[in-house]
Amino acid sequence: MVTSPPSRIWNIAAETQSIQARTALQLTRLRALIERVNHQVPFYREALQRAGISADQFKHLEDVRRLPFTTKADFRQQHPLGLLAVPRHEIARIHGSSGTTGTPTFVAYTKNDLQIWAELCARFLFAGGLEPQHTVQIAFGYGLFTGGFGLHYGVECIGAAIIPAAAGNTRRQIALLRDLTPDVLICTPSYALTIADAARELDLDSRSLSLQYGHFGGEPWSDDLRLQIERELNITAFNNYGLSEVIGPGVSGECSARTGMHIQDDHFLIECLDPDTLEPVPDGELGELVITTLTREAMPVLRYRTRDLARIYRDPCPCGRTSIRMSRVTGRTDDMLIIRGVNVFPSQIEEALLRVEGTTAHYLIEVERPHILDEVTIKVEIQRELFSDRMDQMQRLRERIRHEIQTVAGIRAQIELVEPRTIERFTGKATRVIDRRHLIT
C-alpha cells in the first residue's frame, strides 16, 4: 500500500480558523439564510410562519433546532424547482437524481454555487494526496448525477489532469488505467473492487498499475472493504461524503490522518439526531445527519434529513484542521432491514463477510416471509481457488460465514456460496438487498 500523503491544507484560513470564529461565522450565515429563504422561497416562508420564527430570534447556534425539517418528500412535492431561491435566469446548472424510485429531485446551482462546490471538493482531494502534477481517472457518471461533475471541477481547481472516463465499460477503464497511467482513481468503492476483479480476469496484476490514491464515495462502505481495495489496487483509499439535495460531494472528506471525514462546517451546519426522537445524540454515538446549507444560493435547505447514519467527533485532529469530523456512513434509516425484530444494515453483512478468508465483497441479501417469520438468504461470491466440489469444504466455509454474520449482525441466515462474477456488478451504487416481503399480500 502507498504511504499516506503528508498533512496538507488547501484553504488554511477557512480550514484552521478558531472554533470561536467559525461558530460566529455559522451564526451570521444562519441568520442571513433564514432571512433570505423567508423572502424568496414560499415553501420556507410558510413553514417559518407556522413555526413563528424570524431571523432576529436566533442568538445561538442551538436555536437551529427551532427550524422546521426538510425531507426528500418536500423536494418531490415542490417538483421541479419549487425550492428555488433565485430568479431562473441566475441558474448556471441543474442536477438531479435518476428518479428510478419515484419522482426525480432536481437541484439548481448559481455560478457562485459551482465555484464553492469546486473549492469544497478541492479541499478533501488535496488533503487526500492530489497534487497539480497528478492525473485523475474519474469513473463516476457524468450527467444529472452530481458525483462526476462535482469532483471533476474539484480536480480542475487543484490543477491536475483529468481522464473523464465516466461510469461503465470496465475493460475500457482498465485500458485507460494501463495506457494513461493515472495517479488517482475516483469512483464508488464497489466499482473500484469491480475494476480490480476485472483486471484479474484479464490476467493483469492491478497492483502493477500506476495508481497511488483513490477517492471513493456515493455509497456506504466498511473499513474492511477499504483494506481489501487498498490491497488489490495497491493504493491509499480515502472516503468522502455528500448528497445531491445539499450540494453533492464536498460536504466532508478525509485528511491524511483518516480519523474521520472533516465536515466543511463553514458552509454546512450539521446536527446528529436520534432518528426516532429527533433529539441530539452525544458526540460519538450513532445518529441521523441533518444538514443546513449556510452558503448555497440557488437552492438552500433548512435542516435536511439525510437519513444517513453516522457519528460526530469534536476532538482535535493531528492534521491541524479545526472542523468537526464525521465517521463513515454506516447505513441509512431507509435501507435498514428489520429481521425478526433485529435492526440490520447491509454494511454489517459486508463487515462480517470480509472477516472470513476466501470471501469477496460481492454479495446479495434476499429477504422473504413465506409464512409468519422472516427468512434471509445471503448469496456470497467466494474466491475462485476456494470454490470446490467437496461438500465438506463448502459446508465449513458456510458455517464460518454464518457464524460471523450472527456475531456482527445478530441474525441467522441461509448462506449460498456462488462462483466469482455470479452476482451482478454495478457501475454506480451497488444494489445489495432484494426484499420480497412487501410483495406478499
CA distance 278 to 68: 12
Task: Answer yes or no: is pLDDT of 156 > 80.
Answer: yes
What does the pLDDT look like over 51-101, one tens digit per residue?
A: 999 998 999 999 999 999 999 889 989 999 999 999 999 999 999 875 544
Task: Answer yes or no: is pLDDT of 2 > 70.
Answer: no
CATH number, residue 378: 3.30.300.30
Mean of all residue pLDDT scores within the chain:
91
Can you point out the beta strands (E) in 212-258? 213-216, 236-243, 248-254
What is the 3-class SS of 271-306, one letter each residue?
Answer: EEECCCCCCECCCCCCEEEEEEECCCCCCCCCCEEE
Q: First CA to last CA across the chain, in angstroms?
A: 51
CA distance 362 to 184: 23
Judgement on whether residues 286 and 398 belong to the same structural domain of the protein: no
Give the DSSP H/E element, type plus range, for residue 109. Answer: strand 106-109
CATH number, residue 163: 3.40.50.12780
CA distance 347 to 349: 5
Judgement on whether residues 125 and 159 belong to the same structural domain of the protein: yes
Neighbours of 39 (CB within 10 A): 10
pLDDT at 344 (0 to 100):
84
Residue 420: pLDDT band with limits 50, 70, 90 = confident
Judgement on whether residues 161 and 309 belong to the same structural domain of the protein: yes
Judgement on whether residues 327 and 351 belong to the same structural domain of the protein: no
Phi, psi (deg, nearest 5) at residue 127: -60, -30
Q: Please indicate whether residue 389 or residue 291 has the higher confidence score (pLDDT).
A: 291
Residue 3: pLDDT band with limits 50, 70, 90 = low
* Cβ-proximal residues to 101 (8 Å cutoff; 6+ apart), any chain: none
Judgement on whether residues 107 and 87 belong to the same structural domain of the protein: yes
| Total domains present in the chain | 2
pLDDT at 207 (0 to 100):
81
Q: Which of 347, 355, 341, 362 is nearest to 412 (CA)?
A: 341
Q: Which of 317, 333, 349 is the last residue of a domain?
A: 333
pLDDT at 436 (0 to 100):
84
CA distance 222 to 339: 21
**381 three-class SS:** strand
CA distance 140 to 148: 5
Residue 131: pLDDT band with limits 50, 70, 90 = very high
Q: Please indicate whether residue 323 or residue 372 has the higher confidence score (pLDDT).
A: 323
Average pLDDT over residues 180-200: 93
What does the pLDDT look like over 255-304, one tens digit per residue?
A: 999 999 999 999 999 999 999 999 999 999 999 999 999 999 999 999 99
Retrieve residue 42's grid coordinates.
414560499
CA distance 395 to 379: 14
Q: Which of 302, 333, 364 is the last residue of a domain?
A: 333
Residue 440: pLDDT band with limits 50, 70, 90 = very low
Q: Which of 357, 352, 363 is nearest to 409 (CA)?
A: 352
pTM of the model: 0.83
Angle (CA) 142-308-361 rounded to 5° is 70
CA distance 232 to 194: 11
pLDDT at 441 (0 to 100):
36
Retrieve residue 176's grid coordinates.
485507460
Neighbours of 192 (CB within 10 A): 28
pLDDT at 71 (0 to 100):
94
Judgement on whether residues 296 and 417 belong to the same structural domain of the protein: no
Range(s) of the domain holding residue 224:
1-333
Retrieve residue 34's grid coordinates.
433564514
Q: Please indicate whether residue 21 or residue 432 has the higher confidence score (pLDDT).
A: 21
